[in-house]
């Protein structure tokens, strides 16, 4: 994996690449992606951010690049040539790098492997509350809403990653009494009544309609790996 990272060079590399290349490669090495596909995604996202930051006059410093405000500026002004879904993927990758290398608050933290926590170990009540508070303390509204929705699907329904990813609007119904019902896809097809403490989060993610229709739902921020990296008390906290 290290060799792939060291040898990485983007297609049609711009002149700025030579100024940022060493910092990009070193940062992704510290993030320790577990697969070559994941490494490629992270390298691509960080390279685009680094080149954008270079054009803004910033030095080759990943701490400066990965500042949440800089990432938001990049996804807003530096990605006008790609679709919204691609911008969201860049944002997710960059946030995962920041958490893995510097910790959720950026100034501190220690390097940890991405997705290092045990996905089969359930959260305790205290851990869930800590994650909920952490999600609410993020620097932008997109981060706060997306992470809380993702946590609500996991904590409120007990869904794992493979069940969250394929969810679509028609899978969600809000009933007359305010309760939410999810139709789960995949190998374990079933209906789940949402845990009451998290109903409001899911209901607010879809337009207000009558309970007789299926509601579109938008998972605003694909950050499952970020939640895993922030597991309180784990090796990747």
Choose between 17 and 192: higher pLDDT.
17
Residue range 186-214: average pLDDT?
Answer: 65
* pLDDT confidence of residue 217: 45
pLDDT above 50: residue 108: no
**Could you tell me the residue ranges of all domains in the chain?**
2-114, 125-227
Question: In the numeric block, which tokens belong to residue 234?
Answer: 């784990």
First to last CA, the chain: 23
pLDDT above 50: residue 216: no
Least confident of 60-74, 97-111, 163-177: 97-111
Residues 6+ apart with CB under 8 A from 194: 152, 156, 157, 179, 180, 181, 182, 202
* pLDDT confidence of residue 60: 94
Pick from 66, 72, 5: nearest CA to 37: 5
Highest mean pLDDT among 44-58, 118-132, 216-230: 44-58
* pLDDT confidence of residue 16: 93
| pLDDT tens-digit readout, 124-182 | 777 777 888 888 888 888 888 888 888 888 777 777 777 777 777 677 777 777 777 87
The pTM is what? 0.47
Question: In the numeric block, which tokens belong to residue 7?
Answer: 């040898």
Per-residue confidence band for 206, with pLDDT thresholds at 50, 70 and 90? low
Per-residue confidence band for 218, with pLDDT thresholds at 50, 70 and 90? very low
**What's the Cα-to-Cα distance from 84 to each of 41, 76, 81, rounded to whole Å?**
16, 10, 10
Contact yes or no for 48/78 (Cβ under 8 A): yes
Choose between 116 and 189: higher pLDDT.
189
According to CATH, the topology of domain 125-227 is hpI Integrase; Chain A (1.10.443)
Residue range 82-102: average pLDDT?
Answer: 89
Question: In the numeric block, which tokens belong to residue 31?
Answer: 């993030």
* pLDDT confidence of residue 110: 46
- Look-up: residue for tokens 């784990």? 234
Residues 192, 220, 142, 108, CA torsion sign: positive
Q: Write out the DSSP string of 135-157.
A: HHT-SSHHHHHHHHHHHHHHHHH
Choose between 197 and 9: higher pLDDT.
9
* pLDDT confidence of residue 40: 92
Choose between 172 and 195: higher pLDDT.
172
* pLDDT confidence of residue 141: 82
Checking DSSP bridges between strand 180-184 and strand 190-193, what pairing results, if any? antiparallel
């Amino acid at each position: 994996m290290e060799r792939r990272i060291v040898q990485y060079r983007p297609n049609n590399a711009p002149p700025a690449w030579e100024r940022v290349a060493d910092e990009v490669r070193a940062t992704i090495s510290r993030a320790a992606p577990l697969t070559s596909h994941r490494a490629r995604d992270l390298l691509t996202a960080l390279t685009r951010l680094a080149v954008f930051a270079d054009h803004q006059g910033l030095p080759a410093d990943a701490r400066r690049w990965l500042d949440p405000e800089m990432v938001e500026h990049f996804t807003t002004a530096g990605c006008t040539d790609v679709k919204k879904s691609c911008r969201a993927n860049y944002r997710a990758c960059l946030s995962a790098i920041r958490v893995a290398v510097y910790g959720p608050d950026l100034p501190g933290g220690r390097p940890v492997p991405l997705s290092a926590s045990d996905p089969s170990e359930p959260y305790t009540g205290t851990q869930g509350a800590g994650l909920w508070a952490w999600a609410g303390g993020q620097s932008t509204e997109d981060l706060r809403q997306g992470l809380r929705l993702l946590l609500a699907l996991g904590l409120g329904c007990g869904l794992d990653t493979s069940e969250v990813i394929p969810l679509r609007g028609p899978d969600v119904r809000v009933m007359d009494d305010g309760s939410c019902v999810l139709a789960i896809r995949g190998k374990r097809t079933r209906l789940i009544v949402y845990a009451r403490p998290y109903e409001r989060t899911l209901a607010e993610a879809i337009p207000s309609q009558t309970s007789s229709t299926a509601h579109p739902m938008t998972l605003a921020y694909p950050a499952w790996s970020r939640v895993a990296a922030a597991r309180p008390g784990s090796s990747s906290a």
